[in-house]
Amino acid sequence: MVEVPWALEIGGTEIRGRIDAVFVDPDGTVHLVDWKTGHAHENYKTRLQLPLYALAANKLWGIEPEKTRLAYAFVPGDALVEVSTEGDFLGVAEERVLEALDRIKVGRFEPTPSRYACSRCPVMGVGIPGCPMEVPEE
């Protein structure tokens, strides 16, 4: 399935998204995939996007973390960054979503510098608090 839409209430806020691709193995393992352009980087392992999709898949469709595989797939090419679903994965994901919602509600949007993002950013170097003045090494 591609472009799979979902909507979920977390902490009193409706969150909506669309999963690029969902593959289901014969044994019921569900692969949630987000296509990316650019270069694969380990930083993707800490992004909230796929954990949020996994949370939606669990709450809406009953897919347990043990049966969930998460991957950012980079095109062109065949690079993958896979995200672990071990431990209290869904609990941690929900906590992170709630924290992100709290930050949004009070208008806290701290910059998160990275070499990849800042090198393409139109406001890099203009002096926004928290932003670097030069492209970071990593």
Strand stretches in the chain, DSSP E: 2-10, 13-24, 30-36, 68-74, 80-83
- Residue 131 binds to ligand SF4 (criterion: CB under 6 A): yes
Quick one: which of 79, 14, 87, 92 has its CA closest to 51?
Answer: 92
Does the protein bind ligand SF4 through residue 63 (CB under 6 A)? no
Which of 13, 112 has the CB closer to ligand SF4?
112
How far, in Å, CA of 70 to CA of 57, rounded?
11
Q: Quote the least distance from Cβ 39 to ligand SF4, whole Å.
A: 15
Residue 10 interacts with ligand SF4 (CB under 6 A): yes or no: no
Report 88-117 residues binding ligand SF4 (CB under 6 A).
111-113, 117
* Least Å from the CB of residue 36 to ligand SF4: 16
* CB distance 28 to 118 below 8 Å: no
If you search the block for the tokens 């043990």, which residue do you land on? Answer: 66
Using DSSP, state whether 45 is helix, strand or coil.
helix
Pick the binder of ligand SF4 from 35, 118, 129, 134 (CB under 6 A).
Answer: 118
Based on the shown chain and the rule CB under 6 A, indicate whether residue 41 belongs to the binding site for ligand SF4. Answer: no
Tell me the sheet residues that pair with 101: none
Residues lying near ligand SF4 in the complex (CB under 6 A): 111-113, 117-118, 121, 123-124, 128, 131
